[in-house]
Structure 1
Amino acid sequence: MEQQGHTLKILREKRNLTQQALALKLRVGTRIIEQFESGEKIPDIPTLLRLSAVLEVPASELYGHSTPPFLPVIDSEISQLISGLGSHKAKLILRKVKELTEEEYKEMLNWLFNNKNTIDQH
C-alpha cells in the first residue's frame, strides 16, 4: 500500500499540484490525500478513476507495478466504452467533464437523465 501512495505522491508532484490542489480537484478533503499518499487508505474505484483523470495517467499506473485485481475489469469496460464512442470523442468528453464544477456536473447529469428518452429517439 505504501508503494501505491508513493506513486500517487510522485505523480501529483510531477504535475506541480499540492495536496490541497489535488483534493480540490477531486472534491475530497486534504486529509484524504494525505491518507492515500501515506498508504493509510486506498482510493475506492470512483476516486481512483477521478485521480486517473486529474493526473492524466491510466488507473493502473497509480498502483505502480502491482495492479489490483479489479482494474482489468474496469479497464476492459472503459476500453469497450471508448471503442464504441471513439478515442477522440471520449477524450474530448472526459476533458470537458474534468473541468466542470460540482454544480455543473450535477446539472449535466440531471439533464442527461431527464432527456434520455428524447436522446434515444434520435
Structure 2
Amino acid sequence: MQTLGQKISFYRKNLRISQEELAFRTRTGVQKIQLIENDQLVPSKEMLLKLSTVLEVPVSELEIDRTHSAIH
C-alpha cells in the first residue's frame, strides 16, 4: 500500500512537474511539498484539495485513513 507521500510523488512525476512547480501551483513552499512527499507532514484538507486539482486526480485518491496512519 502506497503512503500519501508516495502517491503525491507518483502523480507529480507522472505529470512531469517538479516539486518547485507543484509548490507554485498549490501556493505553498517547496519545503512543505518535500515534507508531504516524505510523509513527514500530513496536509490539511484544503491542501489535499489543491493537490488533487493540480495533480488531476480525485481527492478521494489522496485521502488517507488517519486512524491507521504511521505518522505520529
TM-score w.r.t. the length of structure 2 is 0.82
Q: Which residue of 2 aligns with 1:4?
A: 4
Q: Which residue of 2 aligns with 1:68?
A: 65
Query: How many pairs were matched up?
Result: 65
Residue pairs, 1:1-122, within 5 angstroms: 3-63=3-63, 67-68=64-65
Unaligned runs of 5+ in 1: 70-122
Q: Shift of residue 24 of structure 1?
A: 0.2
Q: Partners of 1:46 and 1:6 in 2: how far apart?
A: 19
Which runs of structure 1 show a deviation greater than 2 angstroms over 4 or more consecutive aligned residues?
Answer: none
TM-score w.r.t. the length of structure 1 is 0.50
Unaligned runs of 5+ in 2: 67-72
Q: Partners of 2:16 and 2:62 in 1: how far apart?
A: 16
Structure scoring higher RCO (CA < 8 A, sep ≥ 6) equals 2
Matched-pair identity in % = 34
Q: Shift of residue 68 of structure 1?
A: 2.7
| CA-atom RMSD in angstroms | 1.5
Q: Partners of 2:4 and 2:26 in 1: how far apart?
A: 18
Partner SS state of residue 47, structure 1: helix
Partner SS state of residue 16, structure 2: coil
Please list the CA deviations of residues 65-111 of structure 1 after superposition, one character each: whole Å capped at 9, or x if unmatched: xx437xxxxxxxxxxxxxxxxxxxxxxxxxxxxxxxxxxxxxxxxxx
